[in-house]
Structure 1
Amino acid sequence: MQTEAAASFSDVSSSHPYSEHIIKLADLGIIKGFPDGTYKPEAGVTRGQVAIMLANILKLDTKNVQDPGFKDVPKAKDSFGAIAALKEANIIKGYSDHTFKPNEKISREHFALMLSSALNLQPKNDEALPFKDVAKYANEIKALYDYGITTGTTASSFSPAKFVTRGQAATFLARALELPNDSDGAFNLTIMHSNDTHGQIEMAPKRATAVKEVRAENPDALLLDAGDANTGTLYYNEFKGQADVAFMNYMQYDAMTFGNHEFDGGSSPEGHKALVDFIKAAKFPFVSANVDFSGDKQFTGLFSDLISSEPENGKIYNGIVKEVNGEKVGIFGLTTAETADLSSPGSIEFENYIEEAEKAVKAFEGMGVDKIIALTHIGFDDNPAVDNDILLAQNVEGIDVIVGGHSHTRLKEPYVIDKNAQGQAKETTLIVQAANASSHLGTLDVAFDEKGVIVSHQGELLELGKYTDDQQALQLLAPYKEQVEKLGNTQINASTTAALVNPRISDEGNTEQLSVRKNETALGNLITDGMVTKAQDYTDKKVIMAVQNGGGIRAAIDEGPITVSEVITVLPFANTLALMDLTGAELKEAFEISVGTYPKENGGFLHVSKGIKVKFDSSKPAGERIVSITYTNDQGEAVEIDDQATYTIATNAFTAKGGDGYDVFAKVYEEGRVTDLGLSDWENFKEHLESIKTIKPTIEGRIVDVAK
Structure 2
Amino acid sequence: MRYKSQTLLAIAAIIILVFLFSKTYAFQETEEIKILFTHDMHDHLLANKGEYNGNTVWTGGYSRLKTAIDKEKADSKNTVLVDAGDYSMGDLFQSLFSTDAPELRIMGQMGYDVTTFGNHEFEFKDMGLARHLYAAKNSGDKLPQIVSSNIVFPDMKKMTKSSYELQQSMKAYGVKEYTIINKGGIRIGVFGLMGKDADNCITTTEVSFDNIVESSKRVVKKLKQEGVDLIVCLSHSGTGEKASKSEDEILAKKVTDIDVIVSGHTHTLLNKPIIHGNTIIGSCGEYGNNMGVIELIKDPGKRWYLKDYHLVKIEQSIDEDLKISKTISNFKDMVQKKYLNYFGLGFDEVLCRSPFSFIATDQIGKKLQEDTLGNLISDGYIYSVKQAEGKNYEPVSVAIVPVGTMRGSFVEGDITVQDAFISSCLGIGPDNISGYPLISAYLTGKELKNLCELDVSISPMLNYAQLYMSGISYTYNPIRMILNRVTEVHLQKPDGTKEKIDDKKLYRVVSGLYNAQMLSTVGAKSLGLLSVTPKTKEGKPIKDFDSHIIYSKSGGHTTELKEWLATAKYLQSFPKVEGVPQIPYYYNGLQGRKIIDNRKSLSAILGNPNSIAVTIYLVVLAVVVVITATIVIIVRLVRKKQRNNVTV
Given the two structures, how large is their TM-score scaled by the length of structure 2? 0.52
Aligned length: 406
Measure, in 1, the Cα distance between the counterparts of 2:185 and 2:286. 33
8 Å contact from structure 1 (residues 491, 564) kept in 2: no
Measure, in 2, the Cα distance between the counterparts of 1:263 and 1:572. 14
Structure 2 residue 71 is the aligned partner of structure 1 residue 220: no
Q: Which AA in structure 2 matches 1:471?
A: L
Structure 1 pair 218–272 and aligned structure 2 pair: CA distance change class (3 A): same
Structure 2 residue 473 is the aligned partner of structure 1 residue 613: yes
What is aligned with 1:200? 44
Deviations 1:585-644, CA, capped at 9 Å, x for gaps = 9999xxxxxxxxxxxxxxxxx99522433689xxxxxxxxxx9874669xx9569xxxxx
8 Å contact from structure 2 (residues 122, 129) kept in 1: no
Structure 1 pair 526–382 and aligned structure 2 pair: CA distance change class (3 A): farther
Within 5 A, what are the aligned runs for 1:602-641? 608-613=468-473, 630=489
Measure, in 1, the Cα distance between the counterparts of 2:189 and 2:252. 16
8 Å contact from structure 1 (residues 411, 432) kept in 2: yes
Structure 1 pair 398–615 and aligned structure 2 pair: CA distance change class (3 A): closer
What is aligned with 1:686? 564
Q: Secondary structure at the match of 1:332?
A: strand
Measure, in 2, the Cα distance between the counterparts of 1:524 and 1:614. 19
Structure 1 pair 248–693 and aligned structure 2 pair: CA distance change class (3 A): closer
1:289 to 149, 158, 164: 149
8 Å contact from structure 2 (residues 231, 258) kept in 1: yes
Structure 1 pair 267–360 and aligned structure 2 pair: CA distance change class (3 A): closer
8 Å contact from structure 2 (residues 130, 169) kept in 1: no
Deviations 1:187-221, CA, capped at 9 Å, x for gaps = 21100111111111221111111111111111320
8 Å contact from structure 2 (residues 181, 189) kept in 1: yes
Structure 2 residue 324 is the aligned partner of structure 1 residue 473: yes
Structure 2 residue 133 is the aligned partner of structure 1 residue 275: yes
8 Å contact from structure 2 (residues 43, 88) kept in 1: yes
Measure, in 1, the Cα distance between the counterparts of 2:191 and 2:274. 19
Identity across matched positions, percent: 21
Structure 2 residue 284 is the aligned partner of structure 1 residue 437: no
Shift of 1:319: 0.9
What is aligned with 1:360? 219
Shift of 1:545: 8.0
What is aligned with 1:34? none
Q: Secondary structure at the match of 1:476?
A: helix
What is aligned with 1:191? 35
Within 5 A, what are the aligned runs for 1:12-23? none
What is aligned with 2:420? 567
What is aligned with 2:165? 298
Structure 2 residue 117 is the aligned partner of structure 1 residue 254: no
2:231 to 365, 368, 372: 372
Q: Which AA in structure 1 matches 2:176?
A: Y
8 Å contact from structure 1 (residues 529, 609) kept in 2: no
Q: Secondary structure at the match of 2:272?
A: coil
2:376 to 523, 535, 541: 523
Structure 1 pair 223–693 and aligned structure 2 pair: CA distance change class (3 A): closer
Q: Secondary structure at the match of 2:187?
A: strand
Deviations 1:279-329, CA, capped at 9 Å, x for gaps = 66553321111012575332456657xxxxxxxx94111111122221221
Shift of 1:501: 7.3
Shift of 1:344: 4.8
Shift of 1:403: 1.0
Q: Which AA in structure 1 matches 2:37?
A: H
Shift of 1:331: 0.8
Structure 1 pair 491–369 and aligned structure 2 pair: CA distance change class (3 A): closer
RMSD: 5.2
Measure, in 2, the Cα distance between the counterparts of 1:351 and 1:518. 36
Q: Which AA in structure 2 matches 1:613?
A: S
Deviations 1:85-132, CA, capped at 9 Å, x for gaps = xxxxxxxxxxxxxxxxxxxxxxxxxxxxxxxxxxxxxxxxxxxxxxxx
Deviations 1:471-522, CA, capped at 9 Å, x for gaps = 122222222223335678647499xxxx9874549xxxxxxxxxxx998997
Q: Secondary structure at the match of 1:416?
A: strand
Structure 1 pair 557–628 and aligned structure 2 pair: CA distance change class (3 A): farther
What is aligned with 1:210? 68
Measure, in 1, the Cα distance between the counterparts of 2:31 and 2:453. 46
8 Å contact from structure 2 (residues 40, 85) kept in 1: yes
Within 5 A, what are the aligned runs for 1:299-338? 299-300=166-167, 303=170, 314-338=173-197
Q: Where in structure 2 are there 5+ consecutive unaligned residues? A: 1-26, 47-60, 346-350, 358-369, 384-397, 428-434, 437-450, 461-465, 477-485, 493-498, 503-511, 513-560, 576-583, 596-648
From the two aligned structures, give the one with the greater helix fraction. Answer: 2
8 Å contact from structure 1 (residues 545, 609) kept in 2: yes
Structure 1 pair 362–608 and aligned structure 2 pair: CA distance change class (3 A): closer
Q: Where in structure 1 are there 5+ consecutive unaligned residues? A: 1-182, 305-312, 419-427, 506-516, 531-541, 589-605, 617-626, 640-649, 651-682
Q: Which AA in structure 2 matches 1:206?
A: R
Which structure has more relative contact order (CA 8 Å, sep 6+)? It is: 2
Q: Which AA in structure 1 matches 2:79?
A: A
8 Å contact from structure 1 (residues 488, 565) kept in 2: no
Q: Secondary structure at the match of 2:62?
A: helix
Structure 1 pair 685–377 and aligned structure 2 pair: CA distance change class (3 A): same
Within 5 A, what are the aligned runs for 1:305-704? 314-381=173-240, 388-418=247-277, 428-465=278-315, 466-485=317-336, 490=341, 492=343, 502-504=354-356, 523=376, 525-526=378-379, 552-554=409-411, 564-565=417-418, 567-568=420-421, 608-613=468-473, 630=489, 685-686=563-564, 688=566, 702-703=591-592
Given the two structures, how large is their TM-score scaled by the length of structure 1? 0.48
Measure, in 1, the Cα distance between the counterparts of 2:452 and 2:242. 11
Shift of 1:362: 1.0
What is aligned with 2:605? none
8 Å contact from structure 1 (residues 525, 607) kept in 2: no
8 Å contact from structure 2 (residues 195, 211) kept in 1: no
Measure, in 1, the Cα distance between the counterparts of 2:92 and 2:417. 9
Q: Which AA in structure 1 matches 2:85?
A: G
Measure, in 1, the Cα distance between the counterparts of 2:453 and 2:32. 44
8 Å contact from structure 1 (residues 612, 702) kept in 2: no
1:230 to 71, 77, 88: 88
Structure 1 pair 457–475 and aligned structure 2 pair: CA distance change class (3 A): same
Q: Secondary structure at the match of 1:392?
A: helix
8 Å contact from structure 2 (residues 84, 115) kept in 1: yes
Q: Which AA in structure 2 matches 1:610?
A: S
Measure, in 1, the Cα distance between the counterparts of 2:453 and 2:193. 27
Q: Secondary structure at the match of 1:262?
A: helix
Shift of 1:354: 0.8
What is aligned with 2:361? none
8 Å contact from structure 1 (residues 529, 546) kept in 2: no
Shift of 1:580: 12
8 Å contact from structure 2 (residues 455, 467) kept in 1: no
Measure, in 2, the Cα distance between the counterparts of 1:277 and 1:551. 28
